[in-house]
Amino acid sequence: MKTHEVQQNSSLGHGIKSAIIGGAVGYAAKYALPLTSQEMDADYKRVVHLIKKNAVKAKREFFTEIKDLPTRSLAHDTYINSAKKFAKHNICAYDTALKKIRPAAPFVIAGAVTGLVSSFVYNVFRTDV
């Protein structure tokens, strides 16, 4: 295996690029990782329960209005399907809002450190110098 002096073959640029990429991946992980049990506290459960309760109430009111119709149009069927998905979409939107207010710094720092460490390990063990 060939060896070179550090001054001749600096890999500082590679480490900086790796840290930037790691930071970007860490920021993306802020939204990709699921909510933790600390984030799903009593307030979260109360809001989700309220969303589900309102969705059931809205579906019940709408279904009682259209169940007596002799024929339903495509618009009615589409609305029925969207009413069934109402709670799921609202809960997903609430989860996204909670992820948005997470502090980004821990995710970015962890990603950048991981990028630096992986760059260091890559540069130490590479053999194509």
Query: From CA 111, how far away is CA 26, in angstroms rounded?
Result: 4
Residues in CB range of 105: below 8 A, 6 or more apart: none
Domain spans, the chain: 1-39+103-129, 40-101
pLDDT digits (tens, 9 = 90+) for 13-31: 888 899 999 999 999 999 9
pLDDT digits (tens, 9 = 90+) for 33-91: 999 889 899 999 999 899 888 888 877 877 777 777 777 778 877 877 777 788 888 88
Is 0.75 surpassed by the pTM of this model? no
Tokens encoding 31: 């939204």
